[in-house]
Structure 1
Amino acid sequence: MAERTATVASREGLHARPAAIFAEAAGEADVDVTIARPGEPADEAMDAASILSLMSLGAGHGDQVVLRAEGEGADDALDRLVKVLETDLDAE
């Protein structure tokens, strides 16, 4: 299983707009991607393509999250998604 840690760059965290942008990007991945807080077990991770899951995570600016995916293309998908999270989507 591929795994990446990312820091949320959006000034307001993963609220509605950044969560929607990230969920769309995760949904376009060829693999299922999960998101969780560091230290949470992988089996408790949430669907990264779900805007409701992202918002309920409560990740704020500067918080770290863990992305996981399995299968062919997982590394590339996670690399792309880390770039999305580490971009201030509130500034765009």
Structure 2
Amino acid sequence: MVEKEFTIIDKAGIHARPATVLVQAVANVASEVYMTYNEKTVNLKSIMGIMSLGITHGAKVKVTISGSDENETMENLSQAMKNQGLAE
């Protein structure tokens, strides 16, 4: 299992467009991928789950990945979030 904390830097937080980017980044991986914010955890493969968190600018979120491709998945997800200007 790998975990990483991200700080959301997008001024609008995580809304529909960035949620779609996140889901697309992990849609075809073998690992289980979860995001936690304010003590609520959702599957990162679910747009509705991500949207239900109500993540705002400056929020700290934790991503937890477990499975056979967890390290590669975390690297790809981290890169996608940085490329989109979503998190650091």
* 2:2 equivalent to 1:5: no
Aligned residue for 2:41? 45
The aligned counterpart of 2:22 is: 22
Structure whose residues are more often strand by fraction: 2
Q: Does 1:88 align with 2:88?
A: no
Instruction: Tell me which stretches of 4 or more aligned residues in structure 1 moved more than 6 Å.
Output: none
Structure 1: state its 5+ residue gaps.
none
Secondary structure of the residue aligned to 1:35 is: strand
Kindly provide the amino acid, as one letter, of the partner of residue 85 in structure 1. Answer: M
| TM-score, normalization by structure 2 | 0.81
Matched residues in 1 for 2:54 and 2:8: separation?
11
Counterpart for residue 50 of structure 2 = 54
**Any stretches of 5+ residues in structure 2 without a counterpart?**
none
| Percentage of identical aligned residues | 28
Pick closer, same or farther for the CA change 1:54–1:20 going to 2, 3 Å: same
Tell me how many residue pairs correspond in the alignment.
85
Q: Provide the secondary structure at the position in 2 that maps to 1:53.
A: helix
* TM-superposed deviation, 1:25: 0.9
In 1, Cα distance between equivalents of 2:60 and 2:26: 17
CA RMSD of aligned residues (A): 1.8
